Structure 1
Amino acid sequence: MDKRKQFEDFIAGKLSNEEARAFLTWLMSQEGEDELSATIDEEWSERAKEREYPEYDMEKLLSRTKIAKGEGSTLRLSREEKRSDHASKSGAHKFPWLRLVAGLVILFSLSFLLTKWGEEPVTEPDISSIEMVTRKNPSGVKTRIHLPDGSVVYLNAESTLSYPKDFISHREIRLSGEAFFEVKKDSLHPFSVTSDRLTTVALGTTFNIRAFESDGAVEVTLASGKVRVSDSQTRQSLTLLPGEAASIKAGTEELEKYTADVSMVTQWVKGILVFKNTSFKEIIKRLERWYGVEIHLQGEIANEKCSGEFMEGESLANVLKVLSYSVEFEYKIEGNQVIIIQNQ
């Protein structure tokens, strides 16, 4: 490309980053300096034929270019230039190319210009290209997962956990279902868990998240440390301290904070199935999840609430037998199919 055209395009901001960097590199070279000098000399000679103008000291103009490169010294004017300074100002508008060069020299003296062209474009990561690791538990299965950063996750039945393969640098998890987290402290890489609308951020702490789709709500309970819970839909956020919980229900806009019974919420991690004034419909959902069965109701079951505590390994038949004392019903177990019949 013609160098004069490059000068003009550079000033107008028409060059790409790559073209501008190449142009500046050339201009700062000896070849660029020589061509700049020759161009100015040529322009001056052509214009001088048309009208008498004061003589300019070419060394002065070159020294300005050197100043832009950190090589400058004190500027000096020729005797004739000093004598005719006023006349030069009045005729400057006749020299568009000299004004262009003068503007370029001024721009070179501004450090931000060089910085601007030296910046590399910011490239956003392509989230879809990030390799993910997914762990999924069917009903009746609970697992303990050791994450690459040293954190431990207890994943409940009917729950799914996903995280980047490069987890140590990107401690971001997506959870559907329920999990209890023991987070390894790393102040440089916050640990975040996103469940539906809520995102929970922690550094080093233990907390439980319950986000089963069938529940229609997301609940975060803090056992130790400190976490920040944010709602992506309403932009609300809350800070939780140990013994506190936050929840959001589908179709609502209020992120609620309250005191929680952490021991009861986290009993499942220890393999204990606990009901405390729990509705029978909720108990059925939890039994299906815990034992990996499908429970079918025949007849209308009273809207009773039950309490009870069962250790892992307790047979489903025994659990149903105990519950039938509070809510009168009969049951049949055929493989993974369970039928509960209301007593008339």
Structure 2
Amino acid sequence: MKDYNTYTLKNFLEDDGFRDWVQRKGGPEEPFWRSFLLRYPGKKAALRQAERIILAAGHRDPAIDSREIRVEAEALLEQISVHEPGRAVETQEKQEGAHTRGWLPWIMAACIAAFLMTNHFLADKPAPPREASAARSLTSNLVKTRNDTDKPLRILLSDNSEVFLSPSSTLSYPSHFTDSSRTVHLTGEADFSVRKGSTPFMVYAGGVITKVLGTRFVVRAFEKDQNTTIRVRTGTVSVFEKGKSGPLKKAKENSGLIITANQAAVFEKSVRQFTKTLVSDPVRLSKAIDFESKRYDETQLSKILSDLEKAYGISILFDREQFEKCRITATLADENLYQKLEMLCKSIGAVYEIVDGQILILGKGC
């Protein structure tokens, strides 16, 4: 049985389950590591450091001079020995034991991460072809990551916000966010899970600025696409057109949109106009209504629509007086939201439309 109360940086790095979770996410251990810090809050610093080291190993750049890495490795080894009293760790040059040899790849990866995060290494020439999962370069304090694989690439930002970068997409971001700015630039598509903070988090993509404090959302802004699309998973997002000169103060924030969970904003580039709509597959935000076991028996339409509003967080508009006499007997267990609406509307001879991020029920009533 592992004693996570005594876990150190070394333990995290040597934990196969933890490494698999950091590198791939998902899988049977996902719930455990997702909730780990709730149970062991004192391990946050070690866990985050291990996470960055493991991710850095996947972005290793051979252009970094090995002698410089060796110097950084020795410094890091000294730090680790301080954090683990009584367990002095020596470099491979000092001790050729198997223990240190096993540590060396992680130490090297940590040093590469340190170079990337503290601007010791400047990429002044194109990186040679390699089998790395992403092409990564650093200019000043700006990190640029491109996903050339066929799977989403996980990126952990300095504020612990998480980004899954889609294939053929590029994200540019500071190695460290400042107290006054959390800004990234995207070309392509990415799924953002932003940590709450006092400073707004902003994504520049496809002529649009997406502004949040902390939420989950997806931005799609490939250069070849006619539209830029922002889909909100949780929370509230503000979107507006970027000003011609670029700075936020010249952005057309007043002409933007506020969108919430299960809503989407579509910016048509040719006419520079926003449209608010719903995502293609709305997810349930609340489990308070148990559709799996609930059966509606001669239930008023207004009651069923109210349950759907609560479950999906989407406004459903209809003429209450016109549909007052409508009673429905049905179960809504397996269908998605749109299938539920189609079933309800068909039973009363009505139709539904999506208007401005809301659902509108139209019909003659019962």
TM-score by length of 1: 0.37
From the two aligned structures, give the one with the greater helix fraction: 1
Higher Rg of the two aligned structures: 1
Q: RCO (CA 8 Å, sep 6+): is it higher in 1 or 2? A: 1
TM-score by length of 2: 0.35
